[in-house]
């Protein structure tokens, strides 16, 4: 199915412009100072996180395969139910706005704010994007192939090349989702903001698992395994789990975060009225409250929230500010969601630097 020049043009991560993205090799993060008032991240401005390289898909040969003992008749992978992209599209379409965020978004702040450097891509806060995803609900697709009442896990697998890490071949990227989540709000998406999925974002099909760690939203979806027993993969047993003093936890829901739509260490003019703009988001509830400090956390002001404010996406906010003295300032934003979570001052470190959700101290110079 791979390596044929069909579908939308593929873009290598190195071709993303530096004024819109921060490059991390094959991965790129959105620059927050390039955000221009949009609610949905344009497709060509969405961050990219790949474990290997973006595959080319031969659409004429492409089939989505569904198999496992969690389906009626217990089809094996050899006699799996198969669907072409056209057959998936003919099932109808649902559209939802959801955020996708890399699990390591904010990793570099473990080092810069907490002096606990963690290896891995040193993301700022730009490994997040919000899109209008179009496709079929995984519930409808599972119903079509006869999901059983005692099914436990659903695991999508991508069509990218096998992932090699420290000399170990972990196979293609795959990760199980519990049946309750699969039947709740998961999409099998073929559109992103009304257009076919770009190659870097999973063309022709991907899973979208709202509110969960980005690795769950498998790109270049090639198969779906439905099982009556718990499933696992290296992306639950080796990667994307937290190892800390409290034990080991497989990562699922994303926490609460906030970011300013400002360049890092930007310069502002003293005495000139301006507006601080930013966004806050949560993997579970909507955002209930945002607070902003312009003096390093001594005092806090509640900005105005505007635009949509739904769970599993972001809300926009703005606060007028006129800096009255020159010097170095730290801007802080902290959000609380409707599930009762508020961004803390710091978070406990973990081996891989996942889920940094503490308040980020954003430096600016007033001149």
Which is nearest to 127 in space by CA: 268, 28, 235?
28
First to last CA, the chain: 57
The pLDDT value given to residue 92: 85
Which is nearest to 72 in space by CA: 151, 16, 140, 166?
151
Kindly report the pTM of this predicted structure. 0.94
Cα–Cα distance measured from residue 214 to residue 136, given in angstroms and rounded to the nearest whole number: 19
* H or E segment to which residue 275 belongs: strand 274-281
Cα–Cα distance measured from residue 107 to residue 349, given in angstroms and rounded to the nearest whole number: 10
**Per-domain boundaries in the chain:** 13-250, 257-366
CB 172: neighbour CB atoms within 10 A? 19
CB 88: neighbour CB atoms within 10 A? 20
The pLDDT value given to residue 14: 46
Q: What is the CATH number of domain 257-366?
A: 2.60.40.650
Cα–Cα distance measured from residue 153 to residue 148, given in angstroms and rounded to the nearest whole number: 11
Assigned token pair, 139: 């519930």
The pLDDT value given to residue 9: 40
The pLDDT value given to residue 26: 87
Per-residue pLDDT tens, the chain, 367 aa: give them: 444 434 444 444 448 999 999 999 889 999 999 999 999 999 999 999 999 999 999 999 999 999 999 999 999 999 999 999 999 999 989 999 999 999 999 999 999 999 999 999 999 999 999 999 999 999 999 999 999 999 999 999 999 999 999 999 999 999 999 999 999 999 999 999 999 999 999 999 999 999 999 999 999 999 999 999 999 999 999 999 987 667 788 999 999 999 999 999 999 999 999 999 999 999 999 999 999 999 999 999 999 999 999 999 999 999 999 999 999 999 999 999 999 999 999 999 999 999 999 999 999 999 9
Give the CATH architecture of domain 13-250: Alpha-Beta Complex (3.90)
CB 183: neighbour CB atoms within 10 A? 17
Cα–Cα distance measured from residue 13 to residue 85, given in angstroms and rounded to the nearest whole number: 26
């Amino acid at each position: 199915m791979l390596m044929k020049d069909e579908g939308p043009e593929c873009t290598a991560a190195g071709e993303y412009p530096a004024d819109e993205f921060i490059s991390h090799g094959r991965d790129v993060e959105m620059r927050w100072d390039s955000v221009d008032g949009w609610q949905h991240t344009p497709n060509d401005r969405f961050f990219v996180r790949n474990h290997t390289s973006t595959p080319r898909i031969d659409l004429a040969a492409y089939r989505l395969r569904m198999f496992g003992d969690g389906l009626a008749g217990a089809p094996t992978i050899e006699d799996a139910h198969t669907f072409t992209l056209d057959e998936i599209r003919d099932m109808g379409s649902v559209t939802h706005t959801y955020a996708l965020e890399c699990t390591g978004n904010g990793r570099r702040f473990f080092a810069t704010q907490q002096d606990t450097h963690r290896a891995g891509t040193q993301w700022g806060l730009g490994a997040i994007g919000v899109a209008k995803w179009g496709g079929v609900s995984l519930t409808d697709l599972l119903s079509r192939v006869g999901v059983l009442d005692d099914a436990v896990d659903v695991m999508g697998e991508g069509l990218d090349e096998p992932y090699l890490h420290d000399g170990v071949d972990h196979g293609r990227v795959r990760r199980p989702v519990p049946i309750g989540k699969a039947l709740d709000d998961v999409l099998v998406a073929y559109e992103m903001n009304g257009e076919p999925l770009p190659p870097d974002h999973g063309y022709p099909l991907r899973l979208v698992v709202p509110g969960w760690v980005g690795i769950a939203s498998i790109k270049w979806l090639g198969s779906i395994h439905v099982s009556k027993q718990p499933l696992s993969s290296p992306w639950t047993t080796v990667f994307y789990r937290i190892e800390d003093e409290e034990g080991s936890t497989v990562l699922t829901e994303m926490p609460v975060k906030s970011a300013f739509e400002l360049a890092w260490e930007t310069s502002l003019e003293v005495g000139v009225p301006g507006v601080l703009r930013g966004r806050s988001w949560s993997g579970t509830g909507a955002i209930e409250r945002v607070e902003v400090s312009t003096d390093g956390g001594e005092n806090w002001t509640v900005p105005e929230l505007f635009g949509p404010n739904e769970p599993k996406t972001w809300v926009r906010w703005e606060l007028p500010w006129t800096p009255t003295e020159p010097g170095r300032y730290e801007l802080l934003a902290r959000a609380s969601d409707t599930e009762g979570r508020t961004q803390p001052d710091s978070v406990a470190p973990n081996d891989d630097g996942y889920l940094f959700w503490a308040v980020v101290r954003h430096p600016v110079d007033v001149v």
